[in-house]
Amino acid sequence: MNNPIIMHINYCEQGQTLREVFEVASSIGFDGVEFRRYKDGYADGQRAYLEAIAALKEEFNLPLTLFGGPELVTSGDDKAAREQSLEEYLQFLQIADELQLLSTVNLMVCRQENPLIPVDLFHCDAHGYAALSEEDWDRSILICQRIADLYPHVRFAFETHMFYAHDTAKSARLLVDAIDQPNFGINLDYGNSIFFKKTEPLAEAIEIAGKKLFYTHLKSYQPYGHQPGELLPTSLADGCINHRQYIRYLHEAGFEGPIGIEAPRPGDRQHFAAEDFAYIQPIIRKLQDAE
């Protein structure tokens, strides 16, 4: 099990510069970083930001750069907003591909909200795939098929994320199968799944994703009550999810993709990056050595 271990940028979004991000990731031992695809504050916009990442990637000899949000807007009645979002997304892909930064892209499309239900972490089941607009779904499929054709060498992985049509392993697999392209798959973020009243057990979620499992996000939460959504972020070694078992399931499934870890909790996130890596890395490498 020789999976690259990826540091999510949210470990270093407390004022750190890009150089500091690379210093943290490299010093701890990560194989790569998942960046936001866009960041404000660069005079020349998208290109300047990606060129800065490319230069530091070479300087620090970091093997992998992955990219995530903001989302690609494919839903809603505002046609101009959708077209602008797609134009910006294609510009990102073009520049990042030119700079040889692309490997796996964490993707979110087709946000769906039920206007009659509060849009918060206590009502995840009412939104996303449960509130699906067929028009938005069909449009999202066509847009993703276009992207797949343009960048067949890049892997795109839908994050299982509340409020999107791909909010669970099951709905994400339905979307991937409808797109029907070899480079579109799933990023299983099971830490998001536990906010739902009903969700697939972890082993079942991995089985549903199957060979379309391209990427994973690891994070955990500690319950503070008994209702869905009553969860507080915590370390990988703590909380509702047994990540040692998670890694075993991935190993048994033959998963060879990157494993991303993240820290959606307050406090010193640079410290949390080292803490979470120190916990998960020996578990992954032990299974690798046993092969």
Q: Is 45 helix (H, G, I), strand (E, B) or coil?
A: coil
Report the predicted TM-score, pTM, of the whole model to 2 decimal places: 0.96
Do residues 200 and 161 touch, judged by C-beta distance below 8 A?
no
Helix residue ranges per DSSP H, 67-156:
79-98, 134-150
CA distance 189 to 169: 9
CATH, residue 208: 3.20.20.150
Residue 184: what pLDDT?
A: 98
Structure tokens at 218: 């690891």
pLDDT tens for each residue of the chain, 291 residues long: 589 999 999 999 999 999 999 999 999 999 999 999 988 776 578 899 999 999 999 999 999 999 999 999 999 999 999 999 999 999 999 999 999 999 999 999 999 999 999 999 999 999 999 999 999 999 999 999 999 999 999 999 999 999 999 999 999 999 999 999 999 999 999 999 999 998 899 999 999 999 999 999 999 999 999 888 999 999 999 999 999 999 999 999 999 999 999 998 999 999 999 999 999 999 998 876 666
Report in angstroms the alpha-carbon separations of 110 from 39, 66, 72, 126, 168.
Answer: 22, 21, 8, 15, 13
Neighbours of 96 (CB within 10 A): 25
* Beta carbons of 24 and 7 less than 8 angstroms apart: yes
Q: Which residues contact 156 (CB under 8 A, 6 or more apart)?
A: 104, 105, 107, 144, 147, 148, 183, 184, 185, 214
- pLDDT value, residue 2: 82
Q: For residue 208, give both structure tokens.
A: 């549903």
What's the total number of domains in the chain? Answer: 1
Residue 44 has what pLDDT? Answer: 72
Query: What values do phi and psi take at 35, rounded to 5?
Result: -95, 160
Q: What pLDDT score was predicted for residue 43? A: 59
List the domain range (segments joined by +) for residue 187. Answer: 5-290
